[in-house]
Amino acid sequence: MPTNQTPLIASDAHLAHAGLIELLAGQEVPCFESPQRATVIRDALLATGDYALEAPEDHGPDPIAAVHELELLDFVEHVWTDAVAHGWDAARPLLPDTFLLRGYAAGMTLDQLPAKRHLRLGAYCFDTATPIVAGTASAARASVDIALTAADRVLDGAQLAYGLCRPPGHHAGRNLIGGYCFFNNAAIVAESLVARGAARVAILDVDFHHGNGTQQIFWRRSDVLYVSLHGDPGGIYPYYSGYATERGADSGEGATVNLPLPAGTDGDAYLSSLGEALEAIAAFDADAPLVLSLGFDTYHADPICNLALQTDDYARIGSAIATLGMPVVALQEGGYAVDALGANAAAFLDALRAPRSARGQDMP
Ligand code: SP5
Ligand code: ZN
Over the stretch 204-249, which tens digit does the pLDDT of each residue have?
999 999 999 999 999 999 999 999 999 999 999 999 999 999 999 9
Give the ligand with the smallest distance to the CA of 208: 2
**Which of 295, 290, 289, 17 minimizes the C-alpha distance to 141?**
17
Give the ligand with the smallest distance to the CA of 299: 2
Q: Mean pLDDT across the chain, nearest whole number? A: 95
Nearest Cα residue to atom 4 of ligand 1? 179
DSSP 177: B
CA 273, 276, 277, 278 torsion-angle sign: positive
Whole-number Å distance between alpha carbons of 171 and 186: 10
For 31, 96, 155, 180, 298, the CA distances from 23, given in Å and listed in that order, are: 8, 10, 40, 12, 22
Alpha helices in the chain (DSSP H): 35-48, 62-65, 70-85, 121-124, 136-155, 185-195, 212-218, 267-284, 311-322, 338-353
**Which of 218, 213, 178, 216 minimizes the C-alpha distance to 202?**
218
Is any ligand 1 atom within 6 A of the Cβ of residue 129?
A: yes
**Which of 210, 255, 257 minimizes the C-alpha distance to 230?**
210
Is any ligand 1 atom within 6 A of the Cβ of residue 209?
A: yes
Residue 34 Cα to ligand 2 middle (Å): 13
| pLDDT > 90 in the chain, percent | 90
The pLDDT confidence band at residue 364, using thresholds 50, 70 and 90, is very low
Nearest Cα residue to atom 5 of ligand 1? 179
Nearest Cα residue to atom 17 of ligand 1? 304
**Residues 6 or more apart in contact with residue 267 via CB below 8 angstroms:** 308, 309, 310, 312, 313, 316
Residue 360 has pLDDT above 60, yes or no: no
Least confident of 87-101, 293-307, 329-343: 87-101
The pLDDT confidence band at residue 359, using thresholds 50, 70 and 90, is very low
Is any ligand 1 atom within 6 A of the Cβ of residue 167?
A: no
Give the pLDDT mean for 165-189: 98
171 noted as active-site residue: yes
How much is the pLDDT for 101? Answer: 83
How much is the pLDDT for 302? Answer: 98
Residue 104 has pLDDT above 60, yes or no: no
Cis peptide before 238 (omega within 30 of 0): yes
User: Residue 112 in contact with residue 139, Cβ under 8 Å?
Assistant: no
How much is the pLDDT for 112? Answer: 79
* Site to substitute for ligand 1 among 170, 210, 237, 306, most atoms within 8 A of C-beta: 237
Residue 361 has pLDDT above 50, yes or no: no
Alpha helices in 199-295 (DSSP H): 212-218, 267-284
User: Residue 281 in contact with residue 255, Cβ under 8 Å?
Assistant: no
Instruction: Return the C-alpha torsion angle 311, 271, 171, 45, nearest 10.
Output: 30
How much is the pLDDT for 363? Answer: 43
Residue 97 has pLDDT above 60, yes or no: yes
Give the pLDDT mean for 345-352: 98
**40 three-state secondary structure:** helix
How much is the pLDDT for 63? Answer: 98
Whole-number Å distance between alpha carbons of 220 and 65: 18
How much is the pLDDT for 102? Answer: 65
Is any ligand 1 atom within 6 A of the Cβ of residue 168?
A: yes
Nearest Cα residue to atom 2 of ligand 1? 334
Residue 46 has pLDDT above 80, yes or no: yes
**Strand pairing of 160-163 and 51-54?**
unpaired
| pLDDT > 70 in the chain, percent | 95
Least confident of 53-67, 94-108, 118-132, 214-228: 94-108
Is any ligand 1 atom within 6 A of the Cβ of residue 237?
A: yes
180 Cα nearest atom in ligand 1: 4
Give the pLDDT mean for 79-84: 97
> pLDDT for 254-293, tens place per residue?
999 999 999 999 999 999 999 999 999 999 999 999 999 9
How much is the pLDDT for 110? Answer: 74
User: Residue 127 in contact with residue 9, Cβ under 8 Å?
Assistant: no
How much is the pLDDT for 362? Answer: 44
The pTM (predicted TM-score) of the whole model is 0.96
How much is the pLDDT for 356? Answer: 59
How much is the pLDDT for 358? Answer: 46
Nearest Cα residue to atom 16 of ligand 1? 304
Whole-number Å distance between alpha carbons of 317 and 351: 8
DSSP 164: -
Whole-number Å distance between alpha carbons of 135 and 13: 8
How much is the pLDDT for 304? Answer: 97
Residue 157 has pLDDT above 80, yes or no: yes
Among 14, 118, 170, 171, the one annotated catalytic: 171
